Amino acid sequence: MIQSGSIDVLVGPITAIVVTKMVVLTLAVTALIILWPLRRALARRYDALADRDVALRAELEELRGRVAELEERVDFAERIEAGRREPERLGRGG
């Protein structure tokens, strides 16, 4: 048989465990409710930065191509100029 005194002994620790679980659950739910919009905002910002990064990389590749083309043009112009100067140098020396 259960004695009335032994039930009182068990009610205290069980109540403390239940209250502790309720407090932890309440804090977890509250944190989830508060932090969920923050997480969404950070995710949107990260996506925007990733899109910007892709656009910057594409622009960088385009600019690299243009610089390579300009290097070729400068090399060509230098060869043309060197070809013009070569006969002048040969004419003076001979």
Chain segment 3-43, per-residue pLDDT in tens: 555 555 556 778 888 889 999 999 999 999 999 999 999 99
18 vs 75: CA distance, rounded Å: 82
| Residue range 45-94, pLDDT digits in tens | 988 888 888 889 999 999 999 999 999 999 999 999 988 877 666 666 55
| Amino acid 4: pLDDT | 52
Amino acid identity for residue 39 in this structure: R
Amino acid identity for residue 43 in this structure: A
Say how far residue 52 (Cα) sits from the centre of its chain: 10
Task: State phi, psi for 2 to the nearest 5 degrees.
Answer: -95, 130
| Amino acid 33: pLDDT | 93
| Amino acid 1: pLDDT | 45
Sign of CA dihedral 38, 43, 44, 48: positive
